[in-house]
Structure 1
Amino acid sequence: MIPGGGKRAFLLGLCLLASVLFSGLGVWQLERRAWKLDLIERVEARIHAPPVAPPEPGTWASLSPADVEYRWVRVTGTLLHDRATLVDALTELGPGAWLVTPLRTAQGIVLINRGFVPHDWKAQSNSAAGQEAAEVTITGLLRLSEPDGRILRPNRPAEERWFSRDVPAIARARGLTNVAPFFVDAEATGSAMGYPRGGLTVVQFRNTHLIYALTWFGLAALSITGLVLLLLPAQKRR
């Protein structure tokens, strides 16, 4: 057992350590909040800006999410319908899939998320037969690759089970080379058949850092209160 004096010293050290730790976590959350607000401001500016050309292949290796994601881009090329991939999706239209189709451009391959399709759409419409190999121009939001699938639901390329738009994995599965490390979420096009339905990108960032910061600072205040009580003479503590 710890003697009375030793126990008091242990509790003093514990309260001191907790107050420093909780204060540090509170400051870290405030820094994260500032970063998140800056990110939201930059993304808001991008999604209201006119479309631009996508990044050139020479810059692909050095792309920074902070600089390019959610930027409106316009790409021109030929859709490779026979190499399309269905990626599991849950949207405001219900469960279904994203139809991800490679677009062959003059600079290389860009994966295009043409939009949402219901689960039974593949049997009805997803056929390369009769699809024209005409040049098309697509406008959409630039998005970065989503590696490995979702939590507890990894992508299984061998089984054609895709739960995220993992650009390198899809490129390998479809035998594609010179593929951009990003994909493009196509805007709504008003297709006569209704599908694929583009324009369903949700641009929303969770920002609860202030609540977390206040929680950590509250715990730090409790730790400091405990420290002060331990430093008071025993008679005053009673």
Structure 2
Amino acid sequence: MHARARLIVADTVSDKKRGGLLGRVVGIVLVLVALAILLALGTWQMERLAWKEGLLASIAERRAAPPADLTAIEALDRAGEDVDYRTVRITGSYLNNKERHFFATYGGRIGYYIYTPLQLTDGQIVLVNRGFVTFEAKEPEMRKQGQLTGEQTVTGLSRAKLLEKPSWAVPDNDVAKNIFYWKDLDVMASSVGLDPAKVVPFFVDADATSHEGGMPIGGVTQFDFPNSHLQYAMTWYGLAAALVVISGIFIFKRKP
């Protein structure tokens, strides 16, 4: 009877050991999976950091370059190259009766960016972001001084057009009221009867020198590019290191 009891106790102890070993193996596997995920996230953020730094350097180089002719920017666009933030100089006459209004904030004020077609001597048309006007100055009669006539030379930055609404949270454009919440170049042009064959397939943001004083206020291009990828990467790598330390203590140092 005593031998049978000892056998049962021995079997119980053996089962507990096997169960404990299995638990450790499962725990190690789960830790390794979590560690792989954390390291992958950290590495992905480092790759994003390299991409963002390269983008910022490229934009800085484009902005510092001398203004190019429109034909050079068009050639880049046709070749599928990125035309964003390239300096350009164009000359033409504003079609002031066909301006479009893009809802925006600038300097802590609510208002609009004024997009006015500029007709070049060869018949091409460029939608130019002339700058910011306050909410009260939306209508042209409130800023008659800014309704420039005759031949104008505009220096600024080319901006690629958006192919679709950037987010579901962005309201739909109200074409009837001439209020745009996202820059749909094709609709902006067609809504005032511009010939799509003559409209250049990108915008130009005028700089501050293209219209000094009064409204619109030029030079409103935003260059705010958040770059927190390094902090994110360090967070993921830090969590991975903490996981290794805590898991090592828990799995290998715990008492039987």
Structure with the bigger percentage of helix: 2
Q: Does 1:88 align with 2:103?
A: yes
Aligned counterparts, 1:215-230, within 5 A: 215-229=235-249
Counterpart residue identity of residue 228, structure 2: T
Which consecutive residues of structure 2, in runs of 5 or more, have no partner in the other structure?
1-18
Q: Which has the larger radius of gyration?
A: 2
Distance 1:158 1:77 in 2: 26
Q: CA deviation at 1:41?
A: 1.6
Distance 1:226 1:169, change over 3 A: farther
The total of aligned residue pairs comes to: 230
Counterpart residue identity of residue 169, structure 2: L
RMSD of aligned residue pairs (Cα, Å): 2.8
Distance 1:59 1:48 in 2: 18
Say whether the 8 Å CA contact 2:116–2:129 is kept in structure 1.
yes
Distance 1:35 1:110 in 2: 31
Q: Which moved more, 1:44-53 or 1:213-222?
A: 44-53
Which consecutive residues of structure 1, in runs of 5 or more, have no partner in the other structure?
none
Match of 2:126 among 110, 113, 120: 110
Aligned to 1:16: 32
Say whether the 8 Å CA contact 1:150–1:163 is kept in structure 2.
no
Aligned to 1:35: 51
Say whether the 8 Å CA contact 1:47–1:72 is kept in structure 2.
yes
Aligned to 1:165: 183
Query: RCO greater where, 1 or 2, for CA within 8 Å and sep 6 or more?
Result: 1
Q: Does 1:64 align with 2:64?
A: no
Aligned counterparts, 1:1-238, within 5 A: 7-54=23-70, 55=72, 57=74, 59-65=76-82, 68-92=83-107, 94-105=109-120, 106=122, 108-123=124-139, 125=141, 134-146=150-162, 147-148=164-165, 152-159=169-176, 160-176=178-194, 177-178=196-197, 179-189=199-209, 191=211, 194-229=214-249, 231-232=251-252, 234-235=254-255
Distance 1:206 1:192 in 2: 30
TM-score with structure 1 setting the length: 0.82
Q: CA deviation at 1:218?
A: 0.9
Q: Which moved more, 1:23-32 or 1:190-199?
A: 190-199
SS in 1 for 2:204: strand
Q: CA deviation at 1:62?
A: 3.6
